[in-house]
Structure 1
Amino acid sequence: MSQNNSSCGDDEQLQKYQHYMYAVVYSVILAPGLLGNVLALWVFRVYTRETKKAVVFMMNLAVADLLQVLSLPWRIYYYLNGEWAFGNLFCMICFYLKYVNMYASIYFLVCVSMRRCELIIRPLRYNSSKRRGDWIICSLGWMLVCLGCLPFLLLRHNNGKTNSTGSSTTEATSPPELVCFSELSMRTISVPAAWVLLILAELVGFIIPLVLVLACACLTAGSLRMSTAGAFPDRGEKKRALRMVLSCAVVFLVCFAPYHITLPLDFMVKANTLSDCSLRKLILRFHPVTLCLASLNCSLDPLIYYFTTYEFWRRLSKPEIPESMTFTRRLSCIAGGEDIQDD
């Protein structure tokens, strides 16, 4: 993959546009993403006792989102100042977390959709052994995602100030100025090898998960129209499950579909297979928008928990009576049968 990218003459203007967009979007999603995911972990861990309805997967999804949110302040600092001041290792860690979050979110959204669909279609097949197996599935998912995202990290390196298309602009006689994130240079790689990695990322990281989520949505919707032996009898529970699965599909289509559509186009620009300047400019301006949309999932996922998970909504809207108060009321009922009125 060539690093001698052709220039259309407005690299500096394009870089300013990208930095401004990233700084604004990341600043907007930082607070709700942090508060929403911390609150979600608190509710799931402290108040939600029932782990049957995909709560284990939602907890891991919240952890994945929180990892990205914690890297946003460093990204905002970089895009506002235009220079990285925290060392190359920390830059690579923050850069790596972006892709780990994206594909871990995709993985756990699929797990949530499949678990809710399974509980509606075959509720009797879910037992305590499967509940313990959810943690094994999560552990394997984290391992696969971390290993699968390594190429994003290994194919990048920091060789000084670069322009928006990835080509170095640092003079050989001057010390390199540390850059990060979108300005990291690509290592030299053959075009066939790059296409293999790209196809694997598209197929395994997006297309197959999207098909699974859409299939779960269709199966859950179909369960509302037919009564299957052993299926969940509560129609209200089926509707809640359908809202959950449809919400996962919406996150896929809004956050992840645009990015994976522009990913091969951005690759073609960086590989210099596109020579038309107007098309190159369009892709280089639209691809950052899709990256921002992909980051929105860390703020949208807590909304899914609140609006589609009954236990989550109930415990936030109507806090339960503390156990000590409940015990006191029981003693009062046993003693006199009526609450004691204050004088």
Structure 2
Amino acid sequence: MNFANNSCNSSEDLRTYQHHVYAVVYSVILAPGLLGNVLALWVFKVYVRETKKAVVFMMNLAVADLLQVLSLPLRIYYYLNNSWPFGHPLCMICFYLKYVNMYASIYFLACVSVRRCELIMCPLRYNSSRRKGDLLVCAVGWLLVCLCCLPFPLLRNPGGDPNSSLSTSGGADLVCFSELPMRAISAPAAWTLLILAELLGFVIPLILVLACTCLTAGSLREPTAGAIHDRGEKRRALKMVLSCALVFLVCFAPYHVTMPLDFMVKSNTLSSCSLRDFIRRCHPVTLCLASLNCSLDPLMYYFTTDEFWRRLSKPEIPESMTFSRRLSCITGQEDTEED
């Protein structure tokens, strides 16, 4: 399949618009994303052994967000200066990290939702062996995401004609990111990759998150008799799962709507120049929304996770928790008194 745009030429105004959108949004989310995720890792490092509320998954989610945030300064430089003087390998690494972050975030948001729902529906099933299982789930998740995201950089052709005012052949004029030309690929293979990305990367995780939201909300209408007597705990779990669903719908749903449309533009499937121009202007906005999760995830931790409130309001918590943990070991009640 030839991805060159033969019927409608890309205007310089469109390219300038796209660069301005990327530069402004990435500049806005850089500082809060960096500070928020560093703070999240600091808090979760203290509480990872003290609670079973999906903290392992949230730590990995913060790592995924931090990886993308660290690549933002280079992206901002490129979109402000219209040049990439850092070489093709670094360009491809930053390009690759964008998609690894997005799909790792989707994966771990789904894991957080499933774990919080499970702790409400079946609280007695979680023990130390399950915590070790969470680590395995995280490791497998990273491996799958990294492997499945390889087609994104591999399908880019650094030696092709990007059909823009910049050239890929020389140093400071090297194009990068979405302006890298696509390799030739057959239509069936392209649509297969697109459908798999939509189903495995978004639709199935979204169904899991929405199902967990419904189950957790339904548990609030049940009698409180049982292992969990505190309705406040169920409400906190519902806030967490609802926050995951909100991040899905705000950050990732728009991108996965425009992704197949953008593919149709690049593959010359659409004939209307006005429609192609509209899609080209919408797609950068949805891609920026997908990056916004780097700043929204720390807010989700802060407003839905007790550990954040306790750690930030009482710096002495780690010492007191250490004392409580030692006392629990003496009395033999460590596992039964976990949150």
TM-score (norm 1): 0.89
The match for 2:145 is 145
Does the CA-based 8 Å contact 2:96-2:149 persist in structure 1?
A: yes
* Deviations, residues 18-71 of structure 1 (Å, cap 9, x unaligned): 001100000000000000000000011135542400000000000000000000
Q: Partner amino acid for 2:206?
A: L
Amino acid at match of 1:281: D
Q: Aligned match of 2:269 in 270, 273, 291?
A: 273
Indicate if the aligned counterparts of 1:160 and 1:170 stay in contact, CA closer than 8 A. no
Whether the aligned pair in 1 keeps the contact of 2:22 and 2:79 (CA below 8 Å) is yes
Paired with 1:304 and 1:323, the residues of 2 have a C-alpha distance of 26
Distance in 2 between residues matched to 1:170 and 1:70, nearest whole Å: 25
Contact 2:110–2:208 (CA under 8 A) maintained in structure 1 = yes
Q: How many equivalent residue pairs?
A: 321
Aligned to 1:123: 123
Higher mean Cα deviation, 312-321 or 149-158?
312-321
Distance 1:123 1:171 in 2: 58
1:288 aligned onto 2:279: no
**Cα distance between partner residues in 1 of 2:149 and 2:317:** 45
How much has 1:317 moved relative to structure 2?
Answer: 2.4
| Aligned residue in 2 for 1:257 | 253
CA distance in 2, matches of 1:321, 1:78: 43
1:334 counterpart residue number: none
Could you say if the C-alpha distance between residues 229 and 141 of structure 1 is closer, same or farther in structure 2, counting changes exceeding 3 Å? farther
Q: Give the letter aligned to residue 202 of structure 1.
A: E
**Aligned-partner Cα distance in 2 for 1:113–1:314:** 22
1:245 aligns with 2:241: yes
Deviations 1:72-127 (CA, angstroms, capped at 9, x unpaired): 00000000110111110010000000000000000000000000000000000001
Structure 1 residues 99-138: aligned runs within 5 Å: 99-138=99-138
The answer on 1:65 being equivalent to 2:61 is: no
Partner of 1:200: 196
Counterparts in 2 of 1:3-152, with a 5 A limit?
Answer: 3-47=3-47, 49-152=49-152
Q: Is the 8 A contact 2:65 2:294 kept in 1?
A: yes
**Per-residue CA distance 1:151-198 (angstroms, 9 max, x = gap):** 111101223673xxxx365689x8583110111110000111100000
Task: Write the distance in 1 (CA, Å) between the matches of 2:239 and 2:121.
Answer: 15
Instruction: Report if aligned partners of 1:160, 1:179 keep a CA contact under 8 Å in 2.
Output: no
- Residue 4 of structure 1: how far off its partner (Å): 2.6
- Contact 1:160/1:178 (<8 A) preserved: no
Q: Kindly indicate whether residue 305 of structure 2 is the aligned counterpart of residue 309 of structure 1.
A: yes
CA positional deviation for 1:232: 2.1
- Equivalent residue of 1:287, what SS? helix
Between Structure 1 and Structure 2, whose CA radius of gyration is higher?
1
Query: Could you say what the CA RMSD is over the residues aligned between the two structures, in angstroms?
Result: 2.1
CA contact (8 A) 1:57 1:112 kept: yes
Q: Given residue 80 of structure 2, which amino acid in structure 1 is its aligned partner? A: L
Mapped to 2, the partners of 1:321 and 1:296 lie a distance apart of 31
What CA distance in whole angstroms lies between the structure 2 residues aligned with 1:171 and 1:155?
18
Q: Distance in 1 between matches of 2:28 and 2:9?
A: 31
SS of match in other structure, 1:144: helix
Q: Does the C-alpha gap of structure 1 residues 321 and 292 become closer, same or farther in structure 2, counting only changes over 3 Å?
A: closer
Equivalent position of 1:333 in the other structure: none
Distance 1:248 1:74, change over 3 A: same
CA distance in 2, matches of 1:322, 1:123: 25
Aligned to 2:331: none
State the one-letter code of the partner of 1:44: F
Aligned-pair CA distance for 1:6:
2.6
Range moving further from structure 2, 121-130 or 176-185: 176-185
CA distance in 2, matches of 1:157, 1:239: 50
Match of 2:174 among 178, 184, 206: 178
Question: Partners in 2 of 1:133 and 1:321 — Cα distance?
Answer: 27
CA contact (8 A) 2:48 2:56 kept: no
The one-letter code sitting in structure 2 at the alignment partner of 1:19 is: H
Q: 1:26 to 1:114 in 2, by over 3 A?
A: same
5+ long unaligned stretches in structure 2 = 324-339
- TM-superposed deviation, 1:278: 0.8
Instruction: Determine helix, strand or coil for the equivalent of 1:157.
Output: coil
Query: Structure 1's 220 and 32: CA in aligned 2 closer, same or farther, altered over 3 A?
Result: same
Residue type at the aligned position of 2:144: L
Q: Which moved more, 1:313-322 or 1:232-241?
A: 313-322
Identity among equivalent positions (%) equals 77
